């Protein structure tokens, strides 16, 4: 049964820049969203899709929900983050990584966020590994768009929200869209239909508050920002990140097949 997110955090209200924005393709096919915890939600990404008339089909494969055997009846696929690692030797993670071959074979528009990016990297033969000095990225961090990234989205924010312990290599054949100081590879595209980011553009204030409360151990790791700084920086940089998300989602949905 198709269903929408039951508790979306903070609908986007700022239209953002419109220059160079692609036109989303309208379709009755739902977008498949993979979440990895019971309380997880699609945040600002789900808000954008719903506000633009797209239906959402939400699955939680790590909680035992079955994934479709084909993606032909879905307009696109978004795989979100989670506390697990793409390197975990568990049946759930292995199955999900293997299942991603469908998106590649059927050339389904794909958007991988954090864990969703890292699992696609593994599927494409790349590596996921921790920082050589044991640092994490938790909080808003600067990154730089490449020329390909600037062509994709005209307006990049100065900083993006991060919440991860490891980074990924750039898979063979992938095009770098953005790089960071602590973890080099922050965004890439592959064969014009796969887009992956290490950061969390779906973040909202309620999500930051929940993660800070329920995953306090992440705030104690080397290089992490404290909870108060997370919220203060979100007030400073959140709007620019949302503007980027508007532009990216317009481009991503412009790759959907009209039906």
Catalytic residues: 114, 200, 202
Instruction: Please list the residues that pair with 189 across neighbouring strands.
Output: 175, 195
Tokens at 37, concatenated = 């915890």
Gyration radius from the chain CA atoms: 17
Cα–Cα dist 68/65, whole Å: 10
Closest by CA position to 34, among listed 125, 138, 110: 110
Whether residue 134 contacts residue 128, with contact meaning beta carbons closer than 8 Å, is answered with no
Tokens at 25, concatenated = 């393709």
Closest by CA position to 178, among listed 193, 199, 209, 200: 199
Tokens at 53, concatenated = 């008339």
CA 245 to chain CA centroid, nearest Å: 10
User: Residue 14: how many CB atoms within 10 A of its CB?
Assistant: 10
Start-end of H helices in the chain: 43-51, 91-99, 101-105, 115-123, 147-152, 205-214, 227-253
Cα–Cα dist 200/112, whole Å: 10
Angle at the Cα of 132 from the Cα atoms of 130 and 138, rounded to 5 degrees: 55
Tokens at 5, concatenated = 């997110």
């Amino acid at each position: 049964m198709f269903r929408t997110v039951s508790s979306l955090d903070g609908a986007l209200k700022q239209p953002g820049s419109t220059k160079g924005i692609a036109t989303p393709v309208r379709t009755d096919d739902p977008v498949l969203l993979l979440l990895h915890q019971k309380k997880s939600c699609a945040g600002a990404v789900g808000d954008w899709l719903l506000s633009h008339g797209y239906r959402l089909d939400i699955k939680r494969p790590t909680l035992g929900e079955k994934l479709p055997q084909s993606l032909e009846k879905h307009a696109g696929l978004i795989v979100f983050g989670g506390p697990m690692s793409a390197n975990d030797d568990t049946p759930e993670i292995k199955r999900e990584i293997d299942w991603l071959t469908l998106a590649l074979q059927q050339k389904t528009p794909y958007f991988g966020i954090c864990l969703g990016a890292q699992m696609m990297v593994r599927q494409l033969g790349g590596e996921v590994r921790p920082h050589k000095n044991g640092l994490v990225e938790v909080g808003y961090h600067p990154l730089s768009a490449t020329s390909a990234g600037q062509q994709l989205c005209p307006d990049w924010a100065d900083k993006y929200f991060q919440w991860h312990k490891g980074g990924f290599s750039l898979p063979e054949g992938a095009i770098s869209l953005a790089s960071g100081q602590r973890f080099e590879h922050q965004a890439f595209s592959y064969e014009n239909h796969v887009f992956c980011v290490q950061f969390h553009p779906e973040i909202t204030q309620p999500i930051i508050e929940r993660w800070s409360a329920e995953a306090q151990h992440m705030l104690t790791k080397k290089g992490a920002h404290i909870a108060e700084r997370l919220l203060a920086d979100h007030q400073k940089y959140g709007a620019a990140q949302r503007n980027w998300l508007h532009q990216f989602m317009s481009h991503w949905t412009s790759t959907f097949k009209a039906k």
